[in-house]
A and B are shown apart, each in its own frame.
Chain A
Amino acid sequence: MAALALTDWRALRADGVQGTLCLERPGMQLDLGGIAKGYAAERGREVLRQMGIRSGLVQVGGSVATLGLRPDGQRWAVAIQHPRRDDEFLAILHVGEGLVDTAGDYQRFFVHEERRYHHILDPVTGSPARGVSSVTVLAGGSAPVDALATAALVMGMQEGADFLVRQGVSAVLVNDSGEVVLTPDLVGHVEINQEAWP
């Protein structure tokens, strides 16, 4: 828990003029795991756009950026991995041009004495965030969907859902017993595979 004493985003100082970052306390480290993939996917999409490409999909890990519609004029079908079953989808989202990202407790985890320890840590407790299994965030514009998904996963189901609605993005949240909450705009537009929960 020594690391918890060094966990504080306020201790990161950014100097926009010099273009430098500074961590105030010795021993602090910066991990871009929660924000780099979404940024990379979006940058990749902009490169394609500048090349004159009108239809494309860039995926970096759990981050997807779509450019225009599919060549057949349909929206892109983006499936969300089922948090507890590798061979199943939780849901399929149909998206136009936009950004989609999933944060889940099923990537990079280990199980010790029947407890799941995954890679997204709650900055308050220093332990893996509990309660929410997967958060998928979908945005039409250029919202930081990966950071929002990770933050909502830490906040918990109801608080996370309310937070994402306030951020103006669409989202699918699932808790660790399989209950699903959708942002109101997705209700009736997403098919949830509820049968495959163990």
Chain B
Amino acid sequence: MSAGRRLARLGLLVAVGLILNLIERRLPPLIPVPGVRLGFANLATMLALGLGSPREAILVWLARFLLASLLGGSLLGPGFWVGAAGGTSAWLAMTGVVLHSGGLERAGPGGRRPAFGAVGLSLAGATAHHVGQIAVAACITGQAEVFALLPLLLAAALPVGLLTGWLASLLLRRLHGAGFVRTLPPWAAPLRGWDLALASAVTIVAALTWPGGPMQHQESAVARVSVGGRTTAELSLARDGEYRVEAPEGSLLIEVHHGAVRVVQSGCDDQLCVHSGWVRTPGRMIVCAPNRVVILVVGEKAGVDAILR
């Protein structure tokens, strides 16, 4: 291939990556850490890998990343290093997979049958991308807790890896069919057996390490049950369950469900406590006057020292 054609191809792939990256920057962030991206722009790196070589792939990534950082205004900021770690990790992983599954020369009829297809390659890149991003984010912040966000990113890597891998395969085969590309890389088939194995492994790791949604609102409120002014139980609203409380006018059945508490049954006459329904907000309470039972929801709200308005 002539140097001119090669340069044109590089430029085209940089442009594709840049556009994908700039679109990606407009998407709402999956997790609130600057610089973390889903990795759609990896499609351009993959195409460079398929049409050229690992060397071309890293060139395309580097040019695309520097331009996107410059245009997006994040050059040399904290997000820059997170993104740089993600991009280089993805490239390293994908180059490793390409070298392992048949080397750089095109697989001939007698060549070794590669283990991974395009989806596997892309998934390996997406997974390494997120591990790299999170590792550097943890180093920058000095907080190992950042790793708690990894399962969420791994779960996102599955659809993103699947989509970019499938697209890369489709584009490469179309270009080949139209005569623009003479030989296809050995991994150009969309899906091979090991791809599914890798996808399953990522799913299992994400599921095992899933921390119950680290960035979700955590129910730390407690229902404090007192009978006759004496606290008899503290029920965490995070755990669903039914509890029976003995009281002067007969027992009460209390239910905790989805962070809220209610009285299901009471031996009292007026049944006001049952009609109070669910309460969940700290400071709210259910009172059963005949039984002298008070169920008060206490949470962090009660322990606040100042409110910034």
CA distance A102 to B307 in the complex (A): 10
Chain A residues lying within 8 Å of B146, measured Cβ to Cβ, are 184, 187-188
CB distance from B34 to the nearest CB of A (A): 6
- Write the chain A residue with the least CB distance to B307: A79
Give 12 CB contacts A-B under 8 Å.
A77-B306, A78-B305, A78-B306, A102-B308, A136-B308, A158-B73, A162-B73, A179-B32, A187-B31, A187-B141, A191-B218, A193-B217
CB distance from A160 to the nearest CB of B (A): 11
User: 1/0 contact trace for A62-75 toward B, CB 8 Å?
Assistant: 10100000100000
Place the interface of chain B in its size category.
Answer: 35 or more
Top-7 shortest CB links A-B:
A188-B145, A102-B308, A184-B141, A79-B304, A81-B309, A162-B77, A76-B305
A101 contacts B by Cβ under 8 Å: yes
**B interface, CB within 8 angstroms of A:** 28-29, 31-34, 72-74, 77-79, 137, 140-143, 145-146, 148-149, 214-218, 220, 300-301, 303-309
A161 at the interface (CB under 8 A from B): yes
Task: Chain A residues near B303: list those with CB within 8 A.
Answer: 77
B96 to chain A, nearest CB (A): 29
A57 to B305, CA, bound (A): 8
A187/B305 in contact, CB under 8 A: no
- Are B217 and A194 in contact (CB-based, < 8 A)? yes
By the criterion CB–CB under 8 Å, are B74 and A158 in contact?
yes
CB contacts under 8 Å to B, within A48-71, are 57, 59, 61-62, 64, 70
Q: Tell me whether A100 and B308 are in contact (CB under 8 A).
A: yes
Is there contact, CB below 8 Å, between A89 and B301? yes
User: Footprint of B on A, CB under 8 Å?
Assistant: 57, 59, 61-62, 64, 70, 76-81, 89, 92, 100-102, 104, 107, 136, 158-159, 161-162, 165-166, 179-182, 184-185, 187-189, 191-195
Q: How far is the CA of A93 from the CA of B216 in the complex (A)?
A: 16
Contact B304 A187 (CB under 8 A): no
* A187-B145 contact in complex given A79-B307, A162-B78, C-beta closer than 8 Å: yes
**Complex contact B308–A78 (CB within 8 A):** yes
Contact A77 B305 (CB under 8 A): yes
A195: chain B residues within 8 A (beta carbon): 217
Closest to A89 in B: B301
Q: Does A187 lie within 8 Å of B149, measured CB to CB?
A: yes
From A57, A77, A100, A162, B34 is in contact (CB under 8 Å) with: A162
Measured between alpha carbons, how far is A187 from B142 in the docked complex, in Å? 11
Residues of B within 8 A of A181 (CB): 29, 32, 34
Residue among B145, B305, B307 facing the most chain A CB atoms (10 A cut-off) = B305
**Residue of A at shortest CB range from B149?**
A187
Chain A positions within 8 Å of B29 at CB level: 179, 181
Q: Across the interface, do B73 and A81 meet the contact criterion of CB distance under 8 Å?
A: no
Instruction: Flag if A191 contacts B217 (CB, 8 Å).
Output: yes
The one of B33, B214, B217, B308 that contacts A81, using a Cβ cutoff of 8 Å: B308
CA distance A101 to B77 in the complex (A): 24
B209 CB to closest chain A CB (Å) equals 14
Q: Contacts A184-B141, A187-B149 given; indicate if A192 touches B34 (C-beta within 8 A).
A: no
- Shortest distance from the beta carbon of B66 to any chain A beta carbon, whole Å: 17
Compute how far the CA of A190 lies from the CA of B268 in the bound complex, rounded to whole angstroms: 43
B137 touches A184 (CB 8 A): yes
Q: Which residue of B lies closest to A184 (CB)?
A: B141
- Decide: B306 and A194 in contact? CB cutoff 8 A: no
Most A CB atoms within 10 A — which of B216, B303, B304, B308? B308
B214: chain A residues within 8 A (beta carbon): 188
A72 CB → nearest B CB, Å? 10
B72: A residues at CB distance < 8 A: 158
Q: How far is the CA of A192 from the CA of B31 in the complex (A)?
A: 12
Asked if residues A180 and B308 are in contact (CB atoms below 8 Å), the reply is no
User: Complex: how many Å from CA A159 to CA B73?
Assistant: 8
Task: Collect the chain B residues with CB atoms within 8 Å of residue A194's CB.
Answer: 215-217
B307 close to A192 (CB less than 8 A): no
By a CB distance below 8 angstroms, the chain B residues around A189 are 143, 145
